[in-house]
Amino acid sequence: MNRNTVHARPDQGYVMFVDMNSFFASCEQQMNYYLRGRPVGVCVYTGENGCVIAPSIEARQRGVKTGMRLREAIRLCPELVPLESRPERYREFHVRIIEVLRRYAQEVIPKSIDEAVIDLRSYKRVYPDLMALARQIKTDIREQVGEWLRCSIGIAPNAFLAKLGTELQKPDGLVMITPENIDQILAGLSLTDLPGIAERMAQRLKKGGIHTPLELRHASPHHLRQVCQSIVGLHWHYRLNFAEVDIMDHPYKTMQAMRQISAAQRQRVESLHDLLVALCMTLERRMVNQRVCCREVTVQFTYTYTRQWHQVIRLPQPVQEGTWLLQAIRQRMEHFVRIHHCEPLINDQLTAMGISVSDFVPEELVPLSLFEEPVRRQNLLRAVYDIKDRFGPDKLIKAVELSDAQPMKDAIGFGSVKDLHARQT
């Protein structure tokens, strides 16, 4: 359902934005009593070159930031406890939190693994006191999901302003933005304090004579569109004047699977081939969950000598199976090596490998063939992933996935969780 509207009517009700604080680290502290109150850094890998993807509240207070190299974080905070990430654990906590939110309204839109929007515009009579409702939600999360989990909640006439509210008070914050207090709130902020405005956009706005969020709110739509040179400027006018342009859960335009490759991983080229297989199978699972097939594949390899190999492969027919993706990529690699007389593209100089798929077609619209049975293949793939979800990902695997070692750790991002909720339905 599309809940977006460009008609600004702040009297029509409010939405609530729930942002879990230091979510991955808080999940670890919830599961391990002895980590509570200590600075924790969740990392994909805990080697000295590992990257902190989620510092705990205590680690943030000591200056540890998301994206910081582990060796730098430990130099800054010697008592930091580095932990390898446990993606399945965080997914389970996410699902339980969404279940709590849906007891209050069906219109809950998960925006990421640690964020969700509750559209309360149809519940004005049910919840006359939204601040009291927000405090009750905080209590329910602590009592029913985990006592160490904290969240910041923003309440506003649209999702953007509600998200802004969560940024103003962390951790465990609660802020309500209304037509009466919005100018006062914006007056204390800089342009880069607004979610979605980085330094580059701020400089563009300043060149157009807009130096503060308050000036941005009161600039004319025409001027904003000229300054931003696109409809983006119009969207900023809508957001700061209570219209809704951010709440819709858009379908995928692309799906990506990528991994950084450590020096140790590069030592065994066979494991890099296994990694390519694993990336293709990851995209297969996501397309099966979303019931789509792709018509385009993009491959990007990055090497130690800063070179990249980038190819866009147009498929002759819509594809969902990872083995077909793998075959198309291998054929393109072999063709490139043969034409350019170069070394194999998968070699010990690889530092990153990424695959993306796009130009999706719903699986029910894939043309039928006289010689193939796509419907039976699609049903078989769904059955395979149903078994994996129920009994574990290693209980049923394709022959092409067989390997002496696990080539790719499970990982989780902060972005879309549509795959996760497709699996729950």
**Active-site residue list:** 115
Tokens of 178: 């209304």
The amino acid occupying position 72 is: E
Which one, of 412, 407, 419, 416, lies nearest residue 85 by Cα?
A: 412
Strand duo 81-84 + 40-43: pairing: parallel
**3-class SS shares of the chain: helix, strand, coil, % to 5:** 45, 20, 35
Q: Give the three-state DSSP class for 309.
A: strand
Write the CA distances from 101 to 88, 299, 397, integer angstroms. Answer: 20, 39, 35
| Sign, CA torsion 166/167/172/174 | negative
Specify whether the CB–CB gap between 259 and 355 falls below 8 A: no
Distance CA 319, CA 380 (A): 14
Beta-carbon contacts of 91 under 8 Å, excluding residues fewer than 6 positions away, are: 113, 412, 420
Q: What backbone torsions phi and psi does residue 117 show, to the nearest 5 degrees?
A: -110, 135
Distance CA 280, CA 299 (A): 11
Q: What backbone torsions phi and psi does residue 221 show, to the nearest 5 degrees?
A: -55, -40
Which one, of 25, 17, 16, lies nearest residue 146 by Cα?
A: 25
Distance CA 149, CA 22 (A): 9
Q: In terms of residues, how long is the chain?
A: 425
The amino acid occupying position 356 is: S
Beta-carbon contacts of 158 under 8 Å, excluding residues fewer than 6 positions away, are: 15, 239, 242, 243, 244, 245, 246, 247
390 C-beta neighbours (distance < 10 Å), count: 8
Distance CA 169, CA 165 (A): 7
The amino acid occupying position 210 is: I
Distance CA 304, CA 402 (A): 28
Specify whether the CB–CB gap between 355 and 287 falls below 8 A: no
